[in-house]
Amino acid sequence: MKANAPLRVMAVLAALVLPFAATPAVGASPVVRAQAGPVNCGGQSDAIRIGVSPGASIGSLSPADLDRELTLAKAAGAFAVRLDIDWSAIESTRGAFDWSRTDRVIDAVVAHGMCPHGIIAYTPRWARVAAAVNDSHSRPANPSTYAAFAKTVVQRYQNRIKIWEVWNEPNIVTFFKPVPDVTAYSALLRAAYTAIKQVQPGSTVLVGGMAPSEDTNGNIAGTSFLSKMYAQGSNKYFDAFNVHPYTWPYLPNDPSTASWNTAMKMWSMRDTMVAGGDSGKQIWITEFGAPTGTNPNSVSEQVQSDSIGIVLDAVLGNDWLGPAYVYSLRDAGSDTADTEQNFGLVRRDWTPKIAYGRVDAYAAEHSAP
């Protein structure tokens, strides 16, 4: 660590410790606030914008539950909903496309007055790299094949989607099998960015959100991933970088976690971007949050709310941070011991947690369409 690193950590902590927005009473009924005009789905904005990242399960919701979930998102002030455009489901057989599930969800998001945000990801078996042919989270064998699918997607949805994300968490083994590879991802990004911009020049193309990780077990830390992208010149092929700054069960401003804390590392990422001539590009946060429940690694509902509030206040105080998407909107299940089922702002029975009120109040005070 450099000699001035403690001062740097103190500055980052100061940026992460701003007053929280007031929180309405638990259980308060959400009210859909009137919009001043059409929602802004563009890339850069002077407004503070909050999105939601509900996870893949949104595609399997009943029409009634989908409507209810999107109504809650809109009521909380969300401008966008981040959605999987799952290549493995849409084109499971080469050349044969099934858009029904994706169309339904995208149309519903638009009908609720929000922006769909498309993650183009997940490889069908016929297009996977040979070393991970049995896993849908395998990277594609050929970037041009992926880019051709991306172009088809954008041609279909260009009047409904303006925000595109090239893959999800490509820096960890879970989502970029057989192992993360910056060169391989950069080739994917370059091909997809070029294809997307040919169809939709005014779109916003994001790097796939960086998962919280260190340089261990085949995974690549977001800071390392970004530095290597700049070294390879790949920064020419994204409009914004993208991070998932989870820190649970710790708070994002816990000084004891500074050596690995992804939320704090965003400042180092910003330095890399400025040094690379990209001071005008933002870092988006397309997933963040914390799970409640009974698992030892879960947090209380109050800590979940505080964790979300700290990140939102950091966005408020730093204009180089772009929109922030809470993961997730509703608990995915009722097993309180399973962390993955308990990230929601509302419980499985639709009752709001404390964090829902915090997000709602924050959006009411600070955001705009």
32 domain residue, yes or no: no
Q: ∠ CA(342), CA(265), CA(192), 5° rounding?
A: 80
Residue 8 in domain: no
List of the chain residues with pLDDT < 70: 1-39, 43-47, 367-369
- Listed in sequence order, the residues at least 6 apart from 259 whose beta carbon sits closer than 8 Å to its beta carbon are none
Condensed to tens digits (0 to 9), the pLDDT of residues 14-52 reads 566 543 333 333 444 444 433 434 567 876 665 679 999
Question: What would the DSSP string read from start to end of 178-223?
Answer: S---HHHHHHHHHHHHHHHHHH-TT-EEEEPPBPS--S-TT---HH
Give me the domain span that covers residue 70.
45-366
- CATH number of the domain residue 259 falls in: 3.20.20.80
Cα 336 to Cα 298: distance, rounded to the nearest angstrom: 9
Q: pLDDT tens digits for 126-183?
A: 999 999 999 989 999 999 999 999 999 999 999 999 999 999 999 999 999 999 999 9
What integer pLDDT is reported at residue 136 of this predicted model?
A: 82
- Structure token pair of residue 330: 């509703």
Domain assignment present for residue 25? The answer is no
Please check whether residue 277 lies inside any domain of the structure: yes
Computed over every residue of the chain, the mean pLDDT equals 91
Tokens encoding 172: 């960890």
Q: What does the alpha-carbon distance between residue 209 and residue 205 come to, in Å, rounded to a whole number?
A: 12
For residue 187, being part of any structural domain is answered with yes
Total domains, the chain:
1
- What was the pLDDT predicted at 1? 40
Classify residue 35: in a domain, yes or no: no
In a domain, 40, yes or no: no
Determine, yes or no, domain membership for 149: yes
